[in-house]
Amino acid sequence: MTSPRASESAADLGTAAADLAGASAALVANLLQHVEELVDDIVADASGVARECTDLWGIAAGRAAEVAGTVRAAPRFVRVAGELLRIIAAYRWHGTVDQARMEWLGADVEGLDDLHTRSAERLYALCVEMRGGVLKLGQFASSRVDLLPAPYIAALGRLQDRVPAVPAEAIAARITTELGAPPERLFRRFDPVPIAAASLAQVHAAELADGSRVAVKVQVPEIETVVEADLAALRAVAPALRDLLSFVDIETVAAELIRSVRAELDFTAEAVHAEAFARCHAADAGIIVPRVYRALSTRRVLVLEHIAGERLLDYLDACERRGEPGALDRDRLFEILIGSFCAQVLEHGLVHADPHPGNFLVVPGADGPRLALLDFGCVQAYAPARRRAYAELCLAVLSGDAARMGTCFEAMGFRSRDGGTEGLRAFAVLLLEAFRADGVFSAQNIDGRAAVERILALTRDNPIVAVPGDFVLLGRVFAVLGGLLMRYRPRVNLFRLLLPYLTRAT
């Protein structure tokens, strides 16, 4: 049975949406008679939000044990969906009314760059205020330089900083519920101050009875309900985003984002992934994967071996200050990092799909720096046939075979509006620009901004209307690693790194 508060919230949303649509319609009619489609779109968006809210309550009614939490999330859904729709409406207004006012009446209107900056800051403020799934999605978006204008990348990039911690009492209560005893009984020492705080969980240092140092990852209390409200809001506004990002397969991207965020709430699956990564990299002396303590882990609490190391970006920044010895360590570290992801994609078929710099630590080793992989909540699996397909695409890129690139893209499920692959090939050719004759990566050879603008121009003229779902997270990996390469400009021989994996995969 739907609760009164839920009905009131849904009714308030419907009333507000109707008022907004009515006011918008009246204003548009006074200004121009030829923008009726804008009004229709706003009304359709509002109706979609109302339907999505109704669906949310229908799900809640079937989950009696979770109704209270979902009801509390109702204002959150309204807040998130409403703010996203306001941002979308501002772009539609700019694309129709403002442009018409400027062209027909000579009126001064806000420029598109200014609109990007203002909207990006609004979205950043929303993510900081609401945290949860909204913050997680914002962090994901910040790495997609191929999707969003520069002001969004700059604003959302700030979301990668430390998230405010959840009170220690709430974390202790979560541990007690999950493991049947409070932290002081389970651990010889438990630090109430977290060593890391993120959108969905936070990590505390602890010590077992035998003296082993561990990292205790605890899911934020009631985050499940919060995330579902946020994902419902994303589903509600996705159709409206299609018009703004016509060059992106927004439905596939949104569906994959929803799947991956939900997957990150299952720490049991994360434990399985961590153990699988440990097996895959057991023979790689440069990679460290923390041990899982299964007896102290549940779906919402995960206890791992504590790795003492330096944050990746801090280490790389320090390398720049150490001259040539630091450059050598930087290059070795990038060889380890890139080699690991080559192995993940082309050999193991299990990819760490959240390569945020905070998920890596640098540990001193006898032969130089080693790299510790952390956080296995977001993982993408690839079957052998898919690994071969990516290997064949890579070979086509490295050989500069444009026709073969197009065939590979089509076979893998990429589709553009007119059936061509110019935009996709431009992206692949961009990679070739990073090589000199000796096969050593050279970021100096790339004008990153010009290259991205060139790709976006092609994809806007001929939008990519379909991308395979398993490429969404891999695109995130490429974006993050590419950003690190452009920032630190290591000297690495990509041909030498890639060739063994390509040979085995094909």
Judging by beta carbons within 10 Å of its beta carbon (0-12, 13-18, 19+), is residue 458 exposed, middle or buried? buried
The half-sphere exposure of 426 on its side-chain side, counting CA atoms within 13 A, is 18
Closest CA to 98 of 79, 112, 80: 112
β-bridge partners, 415: 466
- Cα separation, 362 vs 468, in Å, equals 33
β-bridge partners, 288: 372
Q: Which residue has the tokens 């010895």?
A: 325
Angle between helices 323-343 and 494-505 (to 10 degrees): 10
Which residues are CB-contacts of 361 (< 8 A; sequence separation ≥ 6)?
307, 309, 310, 311, 312, 371, 372, 374
Number of residues assigned to the chain = 506
Secondary structure (3-state) at 205: strand
- What amino acid occupies position 265? L
Which residues are CB-contacts of 366 (< 8 A; sequence separation ≥ 6)?
none
- Cα separation, 222 vs 226, in Å, equals 7
Given the residues 41, 249, 354, 375, select the one marked as catalytic.
354
Classify each residue of 227-253 as buried b or exposed e, where b means 16 or more C-beta atoms within 10 Å of its C-beta. Answer: bbbbbbbbbbbbebbeeeeebbbbebb
CA distances from 48 to 57, 94, 226, 241, 303 (A): 14, 22, 20, 13, 42
The answer to whether the CB of 139 falls within 8 A of the CB of 359 is no
Q: What is the CA radius of gyration of the chain?
A: 24
Query: What are the DSSP calls for 7-29, one per residue?
Result: HHHHHHHHHHHHHHHHHHHHHHH
- Cα separation, 319 vs 223, in Å, equals 38
354 assigned to active site? yes
CB atoms within 10 A of CB 362: 23
Q: Which residue has the tokens 């968006």?
A: 45
Closest CA to 162 of 222, 108, 203, 217: 203
Between vectors from CA 365 to CA 362 and to CA 367, what angle results, nearest 5°? 120
Judging by beta carbons within 10 Å of its beta carbon (0-12, 13-18, 19+), is residue 447 exposed, middle or buried? exposed
Secondary structure (3-state) at 339: helix
Which residues are designated catalytic? 354
